[in-house]
Amino acid sequence: MSAALAATADDRIVFDLTGIEERYESLLRELPGVAVRFAMKACPVDEVLARLAGAGAGVDAASVPEMEQALRAGVPIGRVHYGNTVKSDRNIADAHRLGIRDFATDSLEDVAAIAEHAPGARVFCRLSTDTRGALWELSGKYGCSTADAVTILETARKLGLVPSGLSVHVGSQQMTPEAWRDAFERLADVLAALDRRGIALDHINLGGGLPVPGYLDKHGRPLDPPIDKLFAVIREGMAHLRTIGGHHLGFVVEPGRYLVAGQGAIRAHVSRLSARQGPDGRRQYWLYLSCGKFNGLYEMDELQYPLVFPTHGGPGTRHVPAVVAGPTCDSDDAYSHEDGLVQVPEALASGDPVWVLSCGAYAISYTTQGFNGFGPLPYTCIDGGATGGSGKTGGG
């Protein structure tokens, strides 16, 4: 990756396709037999989708345009499911016409719409879960109670649909084993209740949320998720669910961040390192980069990305604490001023290159179409990891 960044003269995101495939293979070693449906919202790049599809993955799609992109990239239709519980009648009908047969749901109203516009489809019901411990909690908008889930799947059967599964999502960058334990307890309760009603499911979708190392927290400290403990809890929970009733369960996971975050980096440049008197009367440094919250670094509200300054360093380099900010006129386009100071070389000059690491997740999908005139970054996909290798370039 570093070789590719060094060889790149302009601002762009670089994705390591080899590294992404290796992450996919490592996930299968941790969770043998689990089907992977890549949460393509994390990195909707054709080359990434094609590489994962070639390795055997499918996709979790949240809209018809995502489904169409996945199919164009070579993902087989049988490995694409409609993972969004928020969808209109037209969305459902369009997906069904494409050949989608697996739909997420979490309400009776949605089930009725699926029965009307996608007759005979398979539905899996999303449960609400405790997402505390995640960097981004995903509670509230999605998921139903365990009691509602039983009613929803019973209704699905009455309406001619196939009640096929349950799903959960423990929050994005979930750092605690307890969240997974809670999710498995809720799943077990629903499986037992469904078994008593003669409904046998064929899969459990464990969603996303698997955390990755490489980020810094708001204070600049490394985020070090207990990934081995998390995988152990997941394997234990899967084994327990397989013992419940007459279900014949397979398992699905929807990783996004886990596969791509550490396999993407941005080659940007310094716009300016400046200093002025702050509200407390002390001198305050600001490092303005050529990219920020609206064109690549959207998640800077909750974390810091590691920065590398390849033309500065070594013994005697003097550093100063600075607020790191993007180029736009929006005051939110910066790390937190209170606790987000970053040590940067004092000698930085306009035009100096900077590498922003661990930004392969959501760097493409969250960018705006030119806020303040600063357009989305183009991207390059490389084959060969740190050694460089061949590459493909795409627009932002």
CA distance 21 to 201: 30
Amino acid at residue number 396: G
Nearest to 75 by CA among 102, 47, 96, 34: 47
Three-class secondary structure of residue 213 per DSSP: coil
Cβ atoms within 10 Å of 351's Cβ, excluding its own: 11
Residue the block writes with tokens 């996971």: 253
Burial of 313 (0-12, 13-18, 19+ CB in 10 A): exposed
Inter-CA distances, 269 with 11, 266, 338, Å:
7, 10, 24
CA distance 301 to 147: 36
43, 329, 359, 381: which one is catalytic? Answer: 329
> Which value, to the nearest 10 degrees, does the dihedral of the CA atoms of residues 62, 39, 190, 105 take?
0
Amino acid at residue number 104: A
* Residue 366 CB partners (closer than 8 Å, separation 6+): 298, 299
How far is CA 278 from its chain centroid? Answer: 36
Answer yes or no: are the C-beta atoms of 260 and 1 closer than 8 Å: no
Q: Which two tokens stand for residue 362?
A: 């959501």
Q: State yes or no: is 329 an active-site residue.
A: yes
What is the dihedral sign for C-alpha 271, 275, 277, 281? positive
- Residues with catalytic roles: 329
